[in-house]
Amino acid sequence: MGQTEGELFFSDVRVREAKRLLAEAVAEHSNHLHGVRPADEGRVESYEAVLQAFAAARGAPLFYKYVGSGIGNGALVELADGSVKYDLISGIGVHGWGHSHPDIIAAGIDAALSDVVMQGNLQQNAVALDVMQLFLQLAQKKGAQLAHCFLTTSGAMANENALKIACQKTGGSRVLAFSHCFAGRTLALAQVTDKALYRSGLPDTLAVDYVPFYDATDPEGSTQRSCDVVQTLIERWPKAHASMIFELIQGEGGYYPGERKYFRKLMSIVRDAGILVHVDEIQTFGRTDHAFAFQHFECDDLVDMVTVGKYSQTCATLYKKELQPRPGLLSQTFTASSSALHAARVLLKEMCDGDLFGSEGRITTGAQFFSDGLLAISQRHPELVSGPFGYGAMCACTPYGGDLDRAVDLSRRLFDAGILSFVAGSYPKRIRFLPPVAVMSKDAMTDALAIIEAVLVEGA
Ligand SMILES: Cc1ncc(COP(=O)(O)O)c(C=O)c1O
């Protein structure tokens, strides 16, 4: 068997040397970024013009004055005004390995050298198969029966595909979801997402019945209430629900984790009624002591469909063999860009074989160090902040009693001081962090936490 032209090309000595030189240049420039720094005075005016052009083009200003320069170093990112900031929100959970990570850059170069920018349902390269198999390998690790993987371009599309599979398979036309959940922003998912503002003016495209979420201050009572509500809804709408969407650690809703027994009970009730269990892991994937939060909560035997995105770079719907939809239901021009697939392959391989997970894994130890730091701040200033809340690398605190305006103001002041965070929840309003804990040193976290504390105190 001879080598393909592709194999010959990627192992061509000139290609290998060019990649080595590029990696060397990226590392050299990336290493020049070693702490927060203010904007370059000389760039203030031109940067402002870029921000205004952004606002004009998109019809509204950016939430933060953030335009990246294209280089970073782990949690540090340089903006086009020359400032350097700690990115503790990671594009709302996307840049799990921070900025300019050498392995992701190398994957990106391979992707750039491949023949196509975008891959789709009709024509895919071998990298797409690797990604699907790695997703499935991770998902099946503790016994979940997830046999198939359909790649897609956004978390919302992954959820849409799961909804379509569930409706077609069960014949149901309603879904169950938790109060305060977030599921995406398509017409159907705007109905699932429990926020009136996000569906304002939109048609009612999907019937959704809400179930109150777990309350850590009342484990038994809240479990009973949720189970009772589900039972009542099932009785009110017999055979009408296609699936129940489980967000195991509520993200946009304010960083509230659920609990193992609670989920197992609810999942068992809905499954007994023929309703599919759909776990939305778009924000939780890669942020607990296991690849999937359903593995952390030990629900492997109860999941029917799982959706992933963000951290994995490539989004996907994983589902059981018996849920295979009829031809024509799922298809897309784009399933992912080549760069997203190449990056996903590197990340997922490390999730399979590396030291990210378990109680001593880089995710758990890094997340613990960060949340311990937030706890120490809240203990020093209980009148200013409470927390931390969340679980694993999803970490939040409630500043100034949860006041909306003050939380938004704090996030903006943090930005100015060199920390990227974001708000979550409605009341109390929280400041949330999705730090790239796997690649962020303890020194960098200590440095970032000191800035957070100073900014909190300054706004007292
Ligand atoms: C739990 C959850 N589901 C779905 C989505 C939607 O993902 P995307 O923004 O990629 O469409 C998000 C995004 O924040 C999410 O957190």
| Per-residue 3-state assignment (H helix, E strand, C coil) for 139-203 | HCCCCCCEEEEEEECCHHHHHHHHHHHHHHHHCCCEEEEECCCCCCCCCCHHHHCCCHHHHCCCC
Nearest CA to ligand 1 atom 7: 155
Task: Tell me if 192 CB under 6 Å of ligand 1.
Answer: no
One digit per residue, the tens of pLDDT, for the chain of length 460 reads 999 999 999 999 999 999 999 999 999 999 999 999 999 999 999 999 999 999 999 999 999 999 999 999 999 999 999 999 999 999 999 999 999 999 999 999 999 999 999 999 999 999 999 999 999 999 999 999 999 999 999 999 999 999 999 999 999 999 999 999 999 999 999 999 999 999 999 999 999 999 999 999 999 999 999 999 999 999 999 999 999 999 999 999 999 999 999 999 999 999 999 999 999 999 999 999 999 999 999 999 999 999 999 999 999 999 999 999 999 999 999 999 999 999 999 999 999 999 999 999 999 999 999 999 999 999 999 999 999 999 999 999 999 999 999 999 999 999 999 999 999 998 899 999 999 999 999 999 999 999 999 999 999 8
pLDDT computed for residue 427 by the predictor: 86
Q: Which of 94, 151, 282 to mutate to test the pocket of ligand 1 (most atoms within 8 A of CB)?
A: 282
User: Which helix H or strand E contains 217, and what residues bound it?
Assistant: none
Task: Tell me if 186 CB under 6 Å of ligand 1.
Answer: no
pLDDT computed for residue 443 by the predictor: 97
Specify the CATH number for 117-353; select among 3.40.640.10, 3.40.50.10470, 3.30.750.210, 3.40.1350.10: 3.40.640.10
Task: Tell me if 388 CB under 6 Å of ligand 1.
Answer: no
Task: Pick the atom of ligand 1 nearest to 281's CA.
Answer: 1
At 422, list the tokens: 């974001």
How much of the chain is in helix, strand and coil states, percent to nearest 5? 45, 20, 35
Class assignment of domain 31-100+359-458? Answer: alpha beta
Nearest CA to ligand 1 atom 16: 283
pLDDT computed for residue 318 by the predictor: 98
In this structure, the number of other CB atoms found within 10 A of the CB of residue 55 comes to 12
CB 365 within 8 A of CB 439: no
CA dist list (Å): 70 to 10, 99, 114, 221: 25, 9, 21, 50
pLDDT computed for residue 136 by the predictor: 98
Residue 326 is classified by DSSP as P
Q: Which of 255, 310, 311, 312 to mutate to test the pocket of ligand 1 (most atoms within 8 A of CB)?
A: 310
User: Which helix H or strand E contains 313, and what residues bound it?
Assistant: none
**How far is Cα 240 from Cα 445, in angstroms, rounded to an integer?**
49
Please report, for the chain, the start and end positions of each structural domain, with discontinuous segments joined by +: 31-100+359-458, 117-353
In this structure, the number of other CB atoms found within 10 A of the CB of residue 427 comes to 12
- CA 420 to chain CA centroid, nearest Å: 16
**How far is Cα 145 from Cα 318, in angstroms, rounded to an integer?**
10
148 CA → ligand 1 middle, Å: 21
Q: Is the peptide bond between 61 and the residue preceding it cis, with omega within 30 degrees of 0? A: no
In this structure, the number of other CB atoms found within 10 A of the CB of residue 321 comes to 9
Task: Pick the atom of ligand 1 nearest to 92's CA.
Answer: 14
Task: Tell me if 399 CB under 6 Å of ligand 1.
Answer: no
Nearest CA to ligand 1 atom 4: 183
